[in-house]
Homo-oligomer: A and B are copies of this chain.
Amino acid sequence: MEEKQTTFKPLDPLLHSELRLAVMSILIGVEEADFVYIKAQTGATAGNLSVQLDKLSAAGYIEVEKTFKGKKTCTICRITDKGRTAFAEYVETLKQYLQIPKV
């Protein structure tokens, strides 16, 4: 009978990206983080990070606030509820691929 029918659930393409996933991973564990900090933690170039933050922001997964730290500009990022949910779903979906039990 061979009843298997795995048919993997698709992986959210917005999260299935090394840098964006790293950003979300940072933001999920912290109240907020600024551009400079995220850049240091991920080792990304500024250009790449800027683009990926835009994408996460456009998707509503994070919110980006532009403020000042003294006289310098400062770009602060926070994960949103939508982002938190999407991340959790991504993790659950991925477990199917990684053969990690759901519970």
Contacts and interface: CB of A to CB of B under 8 A. Distances in A.
A53 to B, nearest CB: 16
Contacts of A42: 6-8
Copies of this subunit: 2
Contacts of A98: 25, 91, 94
Contact of A8 (B10, B11, B22): B22
A5 B41 CA distance: 6
A47 interface: no
Nearest to A87: B98
A54 to B, nearest CB: 20
Interface of A: 4-8, 10-11, 16, 18, 21-22, 25-26, 28-29, 41-43, 91, 94, 96-100
Given A16-B16, A91-B100, 16 more contacts: A4-B41, A5-B41, A6-B26, A7-B41, A7-B42, A8-B22, A8-B25, A8-B42, A10-B18, A16-B18, A21-B97, A25-B96, A25-B99, A94-B94, A94-B98, A100-B100
